[in-house]
C-alpha cells in the first residue's frame, strides 16, 4: 500500500502547473461541448446517444485511448474503454457516467438549454449537473493521463451508458445482460450524485458520499367500472374509484424507517451542529441541512407519489376503466411494507400492476475505496467532513450490482451554500458552478490516482 501511494504521489508531482491548468480548462470545454449535444431521452425507447457517443469516442482516440461503441438499439449507444493500471492484478474499478438527459422545454428556461453558455460563474444547460459535468471530469482526467503517460494504480473500466434517465434498459442493464464479459474482474464502481458539499451550522461543509439508494416500484393502479352516459347517475364510476384510491395514496403519511446509512449521517450532522440526536425521530435535524432538506427528508421513509392519470375520451362518456401511475420508492429492507401498504390503501376494487421495479442498495461507509474518497475530498478542502447518505433516486450502480460490483456515488463538487443544488436535477435553468467543477476534477483525479 505504501509503495503504491508513493508511486502515485510521484506521478502527481510530475504534473506541471500548465498541465493542471490544461486539465481544468479542458474540463470546462468538454462539459460545454457535451451539453451542446441534445442527447434527450424521452422514454419508451425514444432516445439517441449516437452523436454524443461518437464525440466521446473521438475525444479518447485523440489521445490514443481505444474505445468501443455497443449499440443496444438504433441510436442507443454505450461507450466502453479500458485504462490499464500499474498493477493489473488488482480488481478493476468501473468509472461510469450516462450520456442521456431528460427533456427541456426551452420556453421555460432563461437561456437556451443546449447552448452551454457561461453566465454568473456557471455553465448553464440541460445535463450540467445530471450528469455531463461528471462525464467531463472523467474525460479530462483520462486524457490528461494519456498525455502524461501516467498509469493509475489499478485498471479503470471507463463506461458511458445510454438510457439511464428511462430505466437503463438500453444502457447499463443491456450491457450487464448481453456483455457481462466487459465487466470481468471489476469489483467496485463510482458514478453520479455523491461527493457534493452541503453547508451546515453556518460554515461547516459536509461532503455527501452516496453509499445507498432507495429501491423503486412504479405501479399502475387500474379501476374498472360501468361505462355510461355522463348525464346519468353512476355509482360504479371508474374515475371516482380511481380518484379515491389515488388520494389515499398521495395523502398517506408514511412511518419513519431509518436505514443504517441514515442513522450514521444524522449522528454526524448532530455532532457537527451540536444538536441532539434522537434515533426515535430524526426529523428535527432535517432543518440543519438547508437546501438538501427536501431530498434527505425523502430518505427517512418510504414514499409513493401519484405521477400520471389516464381516463376517458369524451366529456359525456363515463369510461369503463381509469388508471394512474404511482412512483413508489422504498428504504432498503422495507419493500414489502411499501407494497402491502399500497394494496391496503387502494382497496379490493383496484388492480395494482408493476410498471418498473428495481432494488435498493446499501453499502458500508468504510474500506479502502471509501478512505480514498475521503482523502481526496480533504486534500482539496481540509475542513470538509465526508459523510454517507442514502439517495432518494437511483443510478446505474443498481445494474452493476447484479454482477457483484459494489457501487458508490462520487462526482465531487464544492457548492456555494446558497445554491439549491437538488432543485437543479431535471429542473429549469440547470447549471453547475465552474469553481465547483474545477474542485471536482481535482478531487476526482486525486481519488483515481490513490484508489
Tens-binned pLDDT, residue by residue, of the chain (451 aa): 233 333 344 444 567 888 899 999 999 999 999 999 999 999 889 999 999 999 999 999 999 999 999 999 999 999 999 999 999 899 999 999 999 999 999 999 999 999 999 999 999 999 999 999 999 999 999 999 999 999 999 999 999 999 999 889 999 999 999 999 999 999 999 999 999 999 998 889 999 999 999 999 999 999 999 999 989 989 999 999 999 999 999 999 999 999 999 999 999 999 999 999 999 999 999 999 988 998 999 999 999 999 999 999 999 999 999 999 999 999 999 999 999 999 999 999 899 999 989 999 999 999 999 999 999 999 999 999 999 999 998 999 999 999 999 999 999 999 999 999 888 999 999 999 999 999 999 999 999 999 9
Rg of the chain in Å (alpha carbons): 23
The residue extents of the domains of the chain are: 2-193+395-448, 215-358
pLDDT in the model for residue 14? 67
Rounded to an integer, what distance in angstroms lies between the CA atom of residue 165 and that of residue 169?
10
Kindly list the distances between the CA atom of residue 405 and the CA atoms of 293, 408, 440, in Å, as whole numbers in the listed order. 30, 10, 24
Q: Among 367, 382, 362, 361, which Cα is nearest to 207's?
A: 382
Task: Classify 215-358 by CATH class.
Answer: alpha beta
Report whether 83 contacts 108 (CB < 8 A).
no
- d(CA 242, CA 225) in angstroms, rounded, equals 10
Which residue from 30, 31, 26 is spatially nearest to 127, judged by alpha carbons? Answer: 31
pLDDT the model gives residue 125: 98
Q: What is the pLDDT of residue 167?
A: 87
**Cα(166)–Cα(48) distance, integer angstroms:** 12
* Helix/strand/coil for 63: coil
pLDDT of residue 179: 98
Residues 6+ apart with CB under 8 A from 276: 270, 284
- Integer Cα distance of 254 and 303 in angstroms: 7
**CA 34 distance to own-chain centroid:** 17
273-311 pLDDT tens trace: 999 999 999 999 999 998 899 899 999 999 999 999 999
HSE-CB at 347 with a 13 A cutoff on CA atoms is: 11
Q: What are phi and psi of 279, to 5 degrees?
A: -65, -15
- pLDDT recorded at residue 169: 94
CA distance 150 to 144: 8
Task: Please state, as a whole number, how many other Cβ atoms lie within 10 Å of the Cβ of residue 4.
Answer: 14
Architecture of the domain defined by 2-193+395-448: 3-Layer(aba) Sandwich (3.40)
Spatial distance between the Cα atoms of 230 and 219, rounded to a whole number of angstroms: 29
Q: Which among 259, 268, 182 has a CA at the least distance from the CA of 214?
A: 259
pLDDT of residue 12: 47
Amino acid at each position: 500500500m505504501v509503495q503504491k501511494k508513493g508511486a502515485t504521489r510521484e506521478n502527481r508531482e510530475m504534473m506541471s502547473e500548465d498541465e493542471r491548468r490544461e486539465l481544468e480548462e479542458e474540463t470546462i470545454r468538454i462539459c460545454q461541448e457535451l451539453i451542446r449535444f441534445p442527447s434527450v431521452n424521452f422514454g419508451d425507447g425514444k432516445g439517441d446517444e449516437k452523436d454524443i457517443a461518437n464525440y466521446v469516442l473521438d475525444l479518447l482516440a485523440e489521445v490514443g485511448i481505444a474505445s468501443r461503441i455497443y449499440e443496444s438499439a438504433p441510436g442507443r449507444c454505450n461507450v466502453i474503454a479500458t485504462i490499464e493500471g500499474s498493477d493489473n492484478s488488482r480488481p478493476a474499478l468501473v468509472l461510469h457516467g450516462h450520456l442521456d438527459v431528460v427533456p427541456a422545454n426551452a420556453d421555460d428556461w432563461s437561456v437556451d438549454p443546449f447552448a452551454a453558455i457561461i453566465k454568473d460563474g456557471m455553465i448553464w444547460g440541460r445535463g450540467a449537473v445530471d450528469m455531463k459535468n461528471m462525464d467531463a471530469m472523467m474525460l479530462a482526467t483520462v486524457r490528461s493521463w494519456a498525455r502524461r503517460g501516467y498509469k493509475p494504480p489499478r485498471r479503470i473500466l471507463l463506461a458511458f451508458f445510454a438510457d439511464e434517465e428511462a430505466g437503463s434498459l438500453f444502457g447499463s442493464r443491456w450491457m450487464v445482460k448481453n456483455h457481462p464479459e466487459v465487466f470481468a474482474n471489476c469489483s467496485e464502481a463510482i458514478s453520479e450524485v455523491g461527493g457534493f458539499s452541503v453547508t451546515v451550522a453556518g460554515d461547516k461543509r459536509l461532503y455527501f458520499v452516496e453509499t445507498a439508494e432507495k429501491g423503486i416500484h412504479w405501479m399502475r393502479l387500474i379501476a374498472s367500472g360501468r361505462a355510461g352516459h355522463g348525464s346519468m347517475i353512476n355509482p360504479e364510476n371508474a374515475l371516482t374509484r380511481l380518484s379515491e384510491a389515488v388520494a389515499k395514496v398521495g395523502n398517506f403519511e408514511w412511518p419513519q424507517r431509518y436505514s443504517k446509512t441514515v442513522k450514521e449521517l444524522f449522528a454526524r450532522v448532530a455532532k457537527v451542529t451540536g444538536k441532539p440526536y434522537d434515533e426515535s425521530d430524526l426529523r428535527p435535524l432535517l432543518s440543519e441541512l438547508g437546501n438538501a432538506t427536501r431530498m434527505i427528508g425523502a430518505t427517512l421513509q418510504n414514499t409513493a407519489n401519484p405521477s400520471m392519470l389516464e381516463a376517458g375520451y369524451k366529456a359525456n362518456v363515463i369510461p369503463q376503466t381509469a388508471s394512474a401511475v404511482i412512483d413508489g420508492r422504498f428504504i432498503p429492507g422495507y419493500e414489502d411494507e411499501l407494497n402491502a401498504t399500497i394494496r391496503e390503501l387502494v382497496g379490493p376494487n383496484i388492480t395494482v400492476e408493476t410498471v418498473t421495479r428495481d432494488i435498493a442498495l446499501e453499502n458500508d461507509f468504510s474500506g479502502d475505496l471509501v478512505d480514498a474518497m475521503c482523502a481526496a475530498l480533504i486534500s482539496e478542502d481540509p475542513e470538509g467532513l465526508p459523510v454517507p447518505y442514502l439517495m432518494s433516486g437511483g443510478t446505474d450502480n443498481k445494474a452493476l450490482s447484479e454482477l457483484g460490483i459494489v457501487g458508490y456515488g462520487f462526482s465531487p463538487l464544492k457548492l456555494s451554500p446558497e445554491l439549491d443544488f437538488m432543485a437543479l436535477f431535471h429542473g429549469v435553468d440547470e447549471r453547475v458552478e465552474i469553481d465547483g467543477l474545477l474542485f471536482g476534477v481535482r478531487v476526482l483525479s486525486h481519488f483515481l490516482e490513490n484508489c
